[in-house]
Structure 1
Amino acid sequence: MLEMLARQLHWTLCCWLGVCLWLLAGETGCISTELCRSPPCGRSSDSEHQPSREQCHGSRCSGRASHPTRAFAHTTTPVRGQLHSKHLVPALQQQQPLVASSLGHTALAMRGTEESCPGGGDCTSGAPNGTIQDCKGIECRLPLRIRQRSRPATQAIPCSPNQGEGCPEPTLVRVSERAAQFIGEDLAYTASELGGAALGVQLTCDVKPGENEVPSEDALVLQLQLTKGQEKFVEMLKNQQVVIVDLQQKLSEQQSTLVTQQREIIEQQRKMYEQMDLIKVQYGMLFDTVKQTSFKSLQEDIQHYFESNLHGLQNQVRNHLQKSYSVHKVKVEAKVIDVGEPLMDCGLCESDEFCNFQKTPSQCEKCTLCPAGFFQLSECSANADRICQDRDECIESPNICGERIKCLNTPGGFRCLGIAEKEAALGLCGEEYFFNKELQECQACLMCEDGVVVFPCSTVSDTVCSTASENKLSQSWTASIVLPLAKSGTSEVYPGLTLKIKEKQEGDIVTVDENSLVFKQHGLMWADFNFAVKHNCRNFLQLSLKLSNREEGYELSAVRIEQPEGKIFQSTSVSSAAEVEPSQTLSVFLKSPNQFCNQSKDFNIYHLNAPLSLFWLSHDTGAVAMTAQMSTSMHYQTNYRPTFKLVSLSDPYMLTLSHDGRAIKFTEMGVVKFVFHQALYSMGHTCIREGFSLVSYLNRNGTNAELMTVHKSGVNYRDTSISASGATKVGAGDLISFEILSPAQCNVRYFGDSSGISMLSLIWIPSAVSTALSASVSVMGLPTGAVRNKLLDFTLVSSNEKQIHLVSTGQLAQKYFLFTERGVASVVFTIKLIHSCNMLRVTLNQLLSNHAQPNAVAQQVGGQMPEGSIWTSVTLRYSFEVCNGTMISISLDCVRGRVNHIAHEHGTSLSILWISSVPGEN
């Protein structure tokens, strides 16, 4: 067996070397038959592994390469060789392809050449059926699927070697590989379609075996199949692209159709609106004619004309709405005027009035006055109002803003685009105009109707005219407050929200605009706000009064409401004083430091009766307003005397700070209304039991006298506030100071900053137009037990005054305070008590005559006593107008519980301030 394999390997190497040498020899080279003597040239498929009995002899012996040949990719010239043989076939009917090796390479093939073998035998053995054998040589080793198909045998024409040049020279023929057959057969290509020649490959001989490997035959076939699939895929993509282009074209046509329909709809709407405008013009012309003509003779014609026109208009609108396309709805409100004798008769109107026929019934009204920046277009007549037209300053004065600045006309003024406030303050708006900071434009100055000017028009402020209301020295105003509706179920209080103000009465000093009070006049203002809430927000709530002007806003004063875990109602009052100007606004602001405080879930506000009240003082009273803030204490302590720092003061001569900044000193005699708020943080259980006390002192001739004491229930590890307010008479050189007392082993930190949480506000008023009275709850007849709207008895602390005194005789004795002159009253009541009521209610009652029932004008509530506390307190503050004979009283109501004790010496007090409203009355 080993010998057989050795012979086979020897024969394979011999043939491979012979082919290579023949290729290198070219046309003139000769390959000796000595190189391939064994095995013999021809063998059958059955005995291809057996050595032949005969050997091939001749001058040329063609060997067949069994080793796979390699071709260089860049080779383009085919290799040809010549064979010289004794017997040549002059013409072959078909090509005889050589079979490629197992790697798929193509070998050279020879046209039918016969060479004599020893013994007269032929090198190739014929098949029994007269055809050439199915395989030859190495071809027999190939699989059946890639063998060359059998072809009919051809008669070999011998050629003697003596013929010399006469014998046709054999030529090398390129035989197609299986890949070429695959292309030709599978794609049905013929020789003529391929350029008249059969497919073939180029063969080269590797000098260095192992290099320039080429893909196998199966890989080449797979690559050709992928190429065919790619061509089919490209063809499918082209077909889809044609479909997409067709769809795009149809979509463009539909869009054009829709645009055309929309244009038609718009045109129909425009025509309909033109018809409506025409009807309106005809109606106006007819109405003007009616006003100047007798109505008795035209009554039937006018009514018929109205009905016919309105009927036609309704039919037109109905036809438009019934069309297939959609149009805007047009609401036609038709009203037929019943022209009658009583309806059109206004009677005699004044010279500055006209008869308004548009109201039912007709009535006389004041003629409209053209506002600043407008001019009169038509006079006011008996039947028509004055018509005003806006003045176009940009046309009247083209260079009013300069040559390079564009001018824009506005109602009552004009605007220079791109002009800053500083440039406008230098007089850019010109005469009779001022720069409005809110609108950022130039507005015409107001012309006073009566010619009485309080403040003339300047470059940045409008004219202030005197009115009949400014003859009053003081006025009061009240309103109710509600919590604004939450926009969503998770409305946060953390950023802050403005409480909604509902105006209860119209006044000459303020108006309500977007939940804020807008002041109309210059003067001094004092505001009180009572608030009761049950909340479950962590840390605390902060309630403040915020004053805003044209440039910025700031908090006048604020209080903090601690967290009671949503168990009880807590009441507090916040007050402040300020100097105000027209267009300034006052609002009530509520916020929380915790962003998880939800307005709709963690809030329950008790709706009080008129919780917001204020009074306004004219500058003619000579009053002075001051605000000061406290500094933050750096250490925890018990007793605390605050140090003040001035924030605003309208007259520094009348009010000054003491040398240590702990007291306010007065230069002249008068009446003082004050409020003091202090924010604090406490730690310790003794704080809860005994609470805090805020004491107000009046220092006169070096001696301190206690004005009032306010109690505050204590808290542990909580932020809270303590507040005191009242009114008292002062003399020249008197001082007012404050002190906060806390129990021992109670550590307290006191805060103060610019946010208004720790502020002092006061107004000093001359004694000529004001007075004050102080009282305390009487020891006799203190209400205890189940108290139901019980009127409290009072004892005077100060003496009775001319304008106000405590009733001492009769059924109302010790219960009512009587006012003897017209003016404004401001009341502060604080009660300290022990109770078990679920809710405690304090009410301010007003009695206008001895025989009428008292009317509740203000109230404040308090919840259950804080757990662990001994005392609790409730404070009520309110301002209102009084006249000669007005009486007031305070009542106490306990809901589901009892009152156990009321403190009558310290912690319970009543302070009443009275201010004259008409100069010269006192």
Structure 2
Amino acid sequence: MRLEMLRWAGCCCWLGVCLSLLGGGGGSRADGCQGALCGGGGRDPSRHPCLGPRCSGRAGRLSRSFLHTATPLRGMQAPSAQHPAPLPASAPRSTGALSPELPAPATRGAAETCRVGDCAAPAPNSTSRDCKGIECKLPPRLRHKSRPGSRAQCAQSGEACPEPTLLREAERAAHSLAEDLAYPASELGVQLTCDLKPGENEVPSEDALILQLQLAKGQDKFVEILKSQQTVIVDLQQKLSEQQSALVNQQREILEQQRKMYEQMDLIKVQYGMLFNTMKQMSFQSLHEDIQHYFEALLQGLQNQVRNHLQKSYAVHKVEVDAQVIDVGESLLDCGLCKSDEFCNFQKTPSQCEKCTLCPAGFFQMSECSANTDRICQDRDECIESPNICGERVKCLNTPGGFRCLGIGEKDAALGLCGKEYFFNKEMQECQACLECEDGMVTFSCSAVTDTVCSAASENKLSESWAANIILPLAKSGTSQVYPGLNLKIKEKLRCEAISVEDNSLVFRQHGLLWTDFNFAVKHNCRNFLQLSLKLNNTEEESCELSGVRIEQPEGKYFQSTSLSSAAEVEPSQTLSLFLKSPNQFCNQSKDLNIYDLNTPLSLFWLSHDTGAVAMNAQMSTAMHYQTNYRPSFKVASVSDPYMISLSHDGRAIKFTETGVIKFVFHQALYSMGHTCVREGFYLVSYINRNGTNRELMNVYKSGVNYRDTSISASGATKINSGDLLSFEILSPAQCNVRYFGDSSGISMFSLIWIPSAVSAAISATVSVTGLPTGAVRNKLLDFTQISASEKQIQLVSSGQLAQKYFRFTARGVASIAFNLKLIHSCNILKITLNHLISDQMQPTTAGQQIGGQMPEGSMWTSVSLRSSFEVHNGTLVSISLDCVRGRINQIALEDGTSITILWISS
């Protein structure tokens, strides 16, 4: 900024120089003042005589004021505003004064020569001889220092010469200019000063000229500096471009290396496949060699045993042998007392007891295990025992533990070619004997293409599943009533160490936590409703209802289905039973009830306390008035750990202390009035409140009724964080009067199990938009879209023929599924089946089933729910299929009312 002001001041000074030259630069002027002090108004004219018209006063002096003026010289007074010094109009203009080059000083006339002796101008020859550089172009009075000749003349006159005030003022200007231009003052030449305040000071024309020259010089150097910096910037840009090119080349090299890596991986896969095929071909030979080595080693062991016995008997009869040697020999040959299922192995030094060998499947026992010998097993030759086992034209090849029918494929073997107690091993491409489990601990029986799956010891298990069928007990007479209530008969399907069945009830053998699911379908003519409940301890003194649902009265027109679930903490000797009753004493068991025979309707899983799980039960308060939307408030009935699970301050939400996975169920009994209730129905919405924000977890739909008792139920599984809140809300249509019930009779109950994330996982999904089944549907698999975060233990298949239809489990454990379907249909019976698949190429089996009857009259939508728990292994697949009997499916709701949640628990 200061440099710009100096440039502006320089221009003004240059204008002053031009005006000065135009005004008084002529050499023929006769009115010039002679002497340096001719114009002083207050000075003595007798002492310093002045000649010419300018010597008469200040008014006759030539004005040197212009837009920007410099500080006046010492000893000189600037013209005031009242008495300006006008420029003579008749002043001749010199052509050289207007040139941008430095003008030559004007020659003054003889009349203007100062007559004072001490101010006499030096001779012309002395000026040209003594000056140097740019000073030669300046007037003599502005030169940097006086010449020795002129100083001597002043000394001769006896008076002191005036100080060169202009030079001192010029020093300040030069130093200021040097600071702005970052150059030393010595490089600027003659030093000048120019005040930047406009309209106050005057600047001599000679000062402006020198200032302009110095500014031009500084500007040139500044331009050079800028050019050098610009060159540096260009070099930096060039280097940056080179570095960018190098990075692009490196990225191309990385991509090329990745491509080569993928090619090598494909080559390794091909080589691995060839190696695997080679291993399959060589496996029979290696197995035969292993068996041969085994019998050779066994024969050698028998020979050693005989030799040892002979040596022992010989040592006993020899009297001369030292007793100490005999004792050592006995210690080496004797194992001591072995268990009943062990034998003494003399081949090892020292000898020790070992478990007796169990004959594998496909081998038979040749000799029993004794105290000194192991059990001997022999391969069964199926081709000799059954010559026509592969047919008359197919050759049979015996293999260790099985046989092979040459030329027979997997499709033929799947039809049962291998026969009873054999299955087709697709990896070995041969028939193998089915495995026999110890103590009958069978999880999955042997099939045409799968081996028997045995269960492990119960003491090492964290969880265990169990399933059973339910039938209605036989009526003692034709007028048997359901009014007092009866227990449904439980028919055990699988064996479980933690649970047994006695007198139509489940008896618990171990401590733990229990989750129960029950699918029920019935067509009844009982007035009011039917109530289905789960009772713990089937005695009048100690029994309590864990949960219950109500089935409304449809006047026997169609089947109705419901799902009942509950959680509980159980102890040994406690019992659990399914209880069915009616509030009407005229409900007849044999005439008014028609129960649909579902496949495995009852299922449950048991959790050990070692998992760290927590169970909770709560009941809802009774609503004493009619209302529409309803948010239930809870009252805790039991909780195994109050620190982990508690209620919120208002009792309308459940709060969790630590992160984990929960499995919950909520049953709410209600009584509705109004035709709007029938047309629109009810919605039960569950929310997760996280960090003060509610998020909808799931939405369940229930068809409405008019002047009827019914219930709505929702069950699911989800992952929760520390501090989350779980709450519920029932949405009912407008102009529908509803009363909600909650008491200690088992209806309107809430149950929950919290499981640590280390041993559990949960995902949720909904029916996919693509591939929706419509029309006459027969065993159609539903497509799903996962809406929750992925879990490594549960995965939705994303490729192949099973894509979007099956969920795959990658770890052994227990699975629990809750499925809700909202739809419009005209089917007489709507059937939902949970399919269980162990391998990709097997026929699925049924793990659970639920049905739905015809849609209620006047209802826009209907819903069906399925809940089931079962054991899974690594590679187990599950799916949901839909079947419409005598009718068609019109529409399936996707936004709300349709969802599936899957819980996995490690075993």
- Give the alignment's TM-score, normalised by structure 1: 0.49
Paired residues in the alignment total 464
Structure 1 CA distance for aligned equivalents of residues 695 and 563 of structure 2:
25
Q: Return the alpha-carbon distance in structure 2 between the equivalents of residues 522 and 805 of structure 1.
A: 32
Structure 1 residues 684 and 852, CA gap change in structure 2 (3 angstroms): same
Q: What are the residue-to-residue correspondences of 1:453-464 with 2, within 5 Å?
A: none
Other-structure match for 1:517: 506
2:669 counterpart residue number? 679
Partners of 2:704 and 2:366 lie apart in 1 by 64
Asked if residue 795 in structure 1 is aligned to residue 785 in structure 2, the reply is: yes
Give the distance between the partners of 1:609 and 1:547, measured in 2 at CA: 24
In 2, distance between residues paired with 1:905 and 1:775? 12
Q: Is the 8 A contact 1:498 1:587 kept in 2?
A: yes
Residue in structure 2 matched with residue 727 of structure 1 by the alignment: 717
Matched, 1:469 2:437: no
Structure 1 residue aligned with 2:813 = 823
Deviations 1:889-921 (A, max 9, x none): 00000000000000011000000000000xxxx
Task: Please state if 1:623 is matched with 2:613.
Answer: yes
The amino acid of 1:852's aligned partner reads: M
**Superposed counterparts of 1:169-208, under 5 Å:** none
**Counterparts of 2:565 and 2:841, CA distance in 1:** 34
Residue matched to 1:701: 691
Deviations 1:550-578 (A, max 9, x none): 86110000000000000000000000000
Tell me how far apart the structure 1 counterparts of residues 809 and 903 of structure 2 sit (CA, whole Å): 11
Aligned-pair distance for 1:349? 7.1
Residues 439-476 of structure 1: CA deviation (Å, up to 9, x unaligned): xxxxxxxxxxxxxxxxxxxxxxxxxxxx9412200000
Contact 1:470 1:618 in 2 (8 A): no
**What residue in structure 2 maps to residue 585 of structure 1?**
575
**What amino acid is the match of 1:908?**
T
The reply on whether 1:872 has 2:862 as its aligned counterpart is yes
User: Whole-Å Cα distance in 1 between the matches of residues 538 and 606 of structure 2?
Assistant: 17
Tell me which amino acid in the other structure corresponds to 2:882. L
AA at the equivalent of 2:700: V
> What per-residue deviation string (whole Å, max 9, x for no partner) do you get for residues 237-260 of structure 1?
xxxxxxxxxxxxxxxxxxxxxxxx
Q: Does 1:495 align with 2:489?
A: no
Opposite residue 697 of structure 1, the aligned amino acid is Y
1:690 aligns with 2:680: yes
* Structure 1 residue identity aligned to 2:577: S
Matches within 5 A, 1:242-641: 350=341, 468-548=457-537, 552-641=542-631
Q: Does 1:885 align with 2:875?
A: yes
Aligned pairs for 1:801-880 within 5 A: 801-880=791-870
CA shift, 1:857, in A, is: 1.5
Distance apart, 1:364 and its partner CA: 13
* Preserved CA contact (<8 Å) 1:349 1:364: no
- Of 764, 768, 780, which aligns to 2:754? 764
Question: Which secondary structure state, in structure 1, belongs to the residue aligned with residue 631 of structure 2?
Answer: coil
CA contact (8 A) 1:549 1:583 kept: no
Quick one: distance in 1 between partners of 2:367 and 2:768?
A: 58
Residues 793-819 of structure 1 show CA distances to partners (whole Å, capped at 9, x for unaligned) of 000010221101100001100000000
Q: Which amino acid aligns with 2:813?
A: G
Q: CA deviation at 1:351?
A: 7.7
- In the alignment, the residues of structure 2 paired with residue 559 and residue 468 of structure 1 have an alpha-carbon distance, to the nearest angstrom, of 36
Could you tell me how far 1:853 is from its partner in structure 2? 1.1
- Measure the CA separation in 2 of the matches of 1:779 and 1:468: 44
Instruction: Give yes or no for contact 2:538–2:577 (8 Å, CA) kept in 1.
Output: no
Cα distance change of structure 1 residues 809 and 755 upon mapping to structure 2, 3 Å threshold = same
1:908 aligns to what?
Answer: 898
The answer to whether residue 740 in structure 2 is matched with residue 750 in structure 1 is yes
Q: What is the alpha-carbon distance in structure 2 between the residues aligned to residue 675 and residue 626 of structure 1? A: 11
Separation in 2, partners of 1:469, 1:790: 38
**Aligned residue identity for 2:885:** V
C-alpha separation between the residues in 2 aligned to 1:801 and 1:629?
Answer: 33
Distance 2:342 2:488 in 1: 45
Asked if the contact 2:538–2:576 (Cα under 8 Å) also holds between the matched residues in 1, the reply is: no
CA positional deviation for 1:754: 0.5
User: Alpha carbon RMSD of aligned pairs, Å?
Assistant: 2.2
Alpha-carbon deviation of 1:833? 0.1
Judging changes above 3 Å, is the alpha-carbon distance between structure 1 residues 833 and 700 closer, same or farther for their aligned structure 2 residues? Answer: same
Q: Distance in 2 between matches of 1:611 and 1:579?
A: 22
SS in 2 for 1:756: coil
Q: For 1:245-288, what per-residue CA distance to the aligned partner results, in whole angstroms no more than 9, with x for missing partners?
A: xxxxxxxxxxxxxxxxxxxxxxxxxxxxxxxxxxxxxxxxxxxx
The TM-score with structure 2 as length reference comes to 0.50
Cα distance in 1 between the residues matched to 2:871 and 2:737: 44
* In structure 1, distance between residues paired with 2:366 and 2:519: 43
- Percent sequence identity is 78
How far apart in 2 are the matches of 1:666 and 1:744? 34
SS in 1 for 2:590: coil
> Which residue, out of 895, 898, 907, partners 2:885?
895
Aligned AA (2:485):
G
Determine the C-alpha separation between the residues in 2 that align with 1:777 and 1:469. Answer: 37
1:489-533 Cα shifts (integer Å, max 9, x gaps)? 000000000000000011111000000000000000000000000
CA distance, structure 2, for counterparts of residue 523 and residue 798 of structure 1: 29
Q: How far apart, in 2, do the equivalents of 1:703 and 1:584 lie?
A: 42
User: Which residue in the other structure is 1:49 paired with?
Assistant: none
Separation (CA, whole Å) in 1 of partners of 2:497 and 2:879: 28
1:100 match: none
SS at match of 1:873: strand
Q: Deviation per CA, 1:179-199, whole angstroms, max 9, x where unpaired?
A: xxxxxxxxxxxxxxxxxxxxx
> Residue type matched to 1:732 in 2?
S
Question: SS of the residue aligned with 1:853?
Answer: coil
In structure 2, the CA distance between the partners of 1:818 and 1:632, relative to structure 1 (3 Å rule), is: same
CA contact (8 A) 2:762 2:901 kept: yes
Query: Residue 501 of structure 1 aligns to which amino acid in structure 2?
Result: I
Shift in CA distance, 364/488, structure 1 to aligned 2, threshold 3 Å: farther
Note if contact 1:524-1:578 (Cα within 8 Å) is conserved in structure 2.
yes
Please name the residue that 2:728 is paired with. 738
Letter paired with 2:501: V
Q: Report if aligned partners of 1:481, 1:612 keep a CA contact under 8 Å in 2.
A: yes
Separation in structure 1 between the aligned mates of residue 628 and residue 741 of structure 2, nearest angstrom = 14
CA–CA distance in 2 between the matches of 1:834 and 1:351?
66
Q: By percentage of residues, which structure has more helix? A: 2
Report if aligned partners of 1:493, 1:597 keep a CA contact under 8 Å in 2.
yes
For 1:734 and 1:718, how far apart are their aligned partners in 2? 36
Deviations 1:351-381 (A, max 9, x none): 899xxxxxxxx99999xxxxxxxxxxxxxxx
Query: Distance in 2 between the 1:688 and 1:549 partners?
Result: 37
Per the TM alignment, residue 650 of structure 1 is displaced from its structure 2 partner at its CA by 0.3
Evaluate the alpha carbon distance shift between residue 785 and residue 365 of structure 1 in structure 2; reply closer, same or farther with a 3 A threshold: farther
Deviation at 1:764, TM superposition (A): 0.3
Which runs of structure 2 are paired with 1:30-45 in the superposition (5 Å)?
Answer: none
The aligned amino acid for 1:914 is W
Cα drift, residue 756 of structure 1: 1.1
Q: Do 1:675 and 1:724's aligned partners in 2 also have CA atoms closer than 8 Å? A: yes
Matched residue, 1:280: none
CA 1:600–1:665: 2 relative to 1, 3 Å:
same
Amino acid at match of 2:486: L
Unaligned runs of 5+ in 1: 1-347, 354-361, 367-466, 918-922
